């Protein structure tokens, strides 16, 4: 996403964060050096001094089992009159779901998480702001990754492509916009 944004918006400073250093190092190889990248774990209490006008959390909110600390960290990052965008699967009904799975063919023997489904109502309860929903409809077919069946792929349902994965979790993808 940073590559695309940087390519299309030349006069903006970008800053990317991830909890995994291997992904940050991969991004550093593909992105211009002017984009600041750093390791940051939003699941731990942080002191964030820099404020941002636009914050984009794309495809990550579902990995968190508890949003208390995550949302406090995100709110610390807000500049005055800023925008927050979440992309991912959200429940339009008032139910939150925590998902744990175990890959029987993996060396990892414990249950793993990362496919939680948070309701829009829960997101709104943390941010206390109006949320605007933008449905997302995938237009390209994504094939099944035979090395990682938890990576989503697309199937056709009622003539529309929908995301699904190995736990048969069909995902209702959308963007959520929150203005501070």
Is residue 178 within 8 Å of 131, Cβ to Cβ? yes
DSSP 97: B
Classify the C-alpha dihedral 100-102-108-111 as positive or negative: positive
Q: How many CB atoms lie within 10 A of CB 88?
A: 21
Q: Which domains does the chain have, with CATH numbers?
A: 41-137+172-179 (3.40.50.150)
Classify the C-alpha dihedral 123-16-55-10 as positive or negative: negative
Q: How many CB atoms lie within 10 A of CB 37?
A: 20
Angle formed by the axes of helices 68-76 and 120-127, to 10°?
A: 50
Q: Specify the pLDDT at position 10.
A: 85
Gap between the terminal Cα atoms of the chain: 23
Q: Specify the pLDDT at position 89.
A: 94
Low-confidence ranges of the chain (pLDDT < 50): none
Q: Specify the pLDDT at position 60.
A: 92
DSSP 63: G
Does pTM top 0.85 for this prediction? yes
Q: pLDDT per residue over 77-105, tens digit each?
A: 999 899 999 999 999 999 999 999 999 99
Q: Specify the pLDDT at position 87.
A: 96
Instruction: Label residue 120 exposed, middle or buried (CB < 10 Å: 0-12, 13-18, 19+).
Output: middle
- The CA distance from 85 to 48, in Å, is 18
Q: Specify the pLDDT at position 121.
A: 96
Q: pLDDT per residue over 134-143, tens digit each?
A: 999 999 999 9
SS3 16: strand
Pairing of the two strands 118-119 and 153-157: unpaired
Classify the C-alpha dihedral 19-71-121-132 as positive or negative: negative
């Amino acid at each position: 996403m940073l590559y695309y944004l940087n390519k299309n918006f030349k006069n903006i400073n970008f800053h990317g964060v991830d909890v995994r250093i291997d992904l940050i190092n991969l991004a550093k190889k593909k992105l211009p050096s002017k984009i600041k990248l750093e390791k940051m774990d939003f699941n731990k209490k942080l002191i964030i001094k820099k404020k941002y006008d636009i914050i984009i959390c794309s495809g990550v909110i579902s990995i968190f089992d508890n949003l208390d600390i995550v949302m406090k960290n995100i709110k610390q990052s807000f500049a005055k009159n800023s925008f927050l965008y979440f992309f991912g699967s959200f429940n339009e009904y008032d139910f939150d779901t925590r998902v744990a799975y175990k890959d029987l063919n993996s060396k990892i023997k414990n249950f793993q998480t990362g496919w939680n489904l948070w309701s829009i109502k829960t997101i709104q309860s943390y941010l206390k702001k109006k949320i605007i929903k933008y449905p997302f409809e995938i237009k390209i077919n994504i094939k099944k990754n035979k090395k990682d069946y938890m990576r989503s792929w697309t199937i056709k349902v009622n003539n529309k492509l929908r995301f699904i994965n190995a736990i048969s979790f069909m995902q209702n993808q959308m963007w959520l916009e929150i203005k501070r």
